[in-house]
Structure 1
Amino acid sequence: MTDTELPLPPWRRGLPKRARPARPALGQAQIVDAGLRIVTEEGVEAVSMRRIAAVFHTGASSLYAHVANKEELLQLMFDRICGDIDVPAPEPGRWRDQIRQLARSSHAVMGRYNDIARAALATVPTGPNALRVSEGMLAILLAGGVPPKVASWALDRLFLYLVADSYEGSLHAQAAAGRGVTEGEYGDTFAEQLAGYFENLPAERFPNLRANARVMTSGGQDERFEFGLDLIIDGVARYARS
Structure 2
Amino acid sequence: MTTSPAPRRRAPVPRRRAEKPLLSQELVVHTAQEILAAEGIRAVSMRRVAQRLQTGPASLYAYVSGKEELDELLLDAALGEIPSPEPDPHRWDAQLKEQVRLQITAMTAYPGIAMVAWNTPVPGTPHALRQGETMLALLRAGGLDLKQAAFAADALSTYAKAFACEASSWASGEYDAEQVAERGRQMTGGSQSGPAEAFAHLGQIGEFFTADTSEERLEFALETFVAGLRALVRA
User: For the superposition of Structure 1 and Structure 2, which TM-score range results when normalised by the shorter chain?
Assistant: 0.7 to 0.9
Structure-2 residue corresponding to 1:175? 173
Q: Which runs of 5+ in 1 are unaligned?
A: 1-10, 180-185
Structure-2 residue corresponding to 1:114? 111
Cα offsets for 1:28-59 (capped at 9, x unmatched)? 11111111122222221111101111111111
TM-score, L = length of structure 2: 0.84
Structure-2 residue corresponding to 1:141? 139
Taking a change above 3 Å as real, the CA distance of residues 39 and 17 of structure 1, as seen in their structure-2 partners, is closer
Structure 1 letter corresponding to 2:125? G
TM-score, L = length of structure 1: 0.81
Q: What is the root-mean-square deviation in Å for CA atoms of aligned residues?
A: 2.6
Percentage of matched positions with identical amino acids: 33
After the TM superposition, which residues 5-44 of structure 1 pair with which residues of structure 2 at under 5 Å, given as runs? 18-44=15-41
Counterpart contact for 1:115–1:166, Cα < 8 Å: no
Counterpart contact for 1:191–1:217, Cα < 8 Å: no
After the TM superposition, which residues 1-242 of structure 1 pair with which residues of structure 2 at under 5 Å, given as runs? 18-122=15-119, 123-175=121-173, 186=177, 192-201=181-190, 202-204=193-195, 206-208=198-200, 210-217=202-209, 220-241=213-234
Counterpart contact for 1:146–1:241, Cα < 8 Å: no
Structure-1 residue corresponding to 2:3? none
Cα offsets for 1:84-134 (capped at 9, x unmatched)? 112211111211101011111111122211221111123222211111111
Secondary structure at the aligned position of 2:87 is classed as coil
* Equivalent residues, number: 222
Taking a change above 3 Å as real, the CA distance of residues 210 and 157 of structure 1, as seen in their structure-2 partners, is closer
Taking a change above 3 Å as real, the CA distance of residues 91 and 167 of structure 1, as seen in their structure-2 partners, is same
Structure-1 residue corresponding to 2:5? none
Counterpart contact for 2:42–2:112, Cα < 8 Å: no
Structure 1 letter corresponding to 2:199? P
Counterpart contact for 1:35–1:77, Cα < 8 Å: yes
Counterpart contact for 2:189–2:203, Cα < 8 Å: no
Counterpart contact for 2:188–2:202, Cα < 8 Å: yes
Deviation at 1:241, TM superposition (A): 4.6
> Once structures 1 and 2 are overlaid, which stretch shifts more, 34-43 or 192-201?
192-201
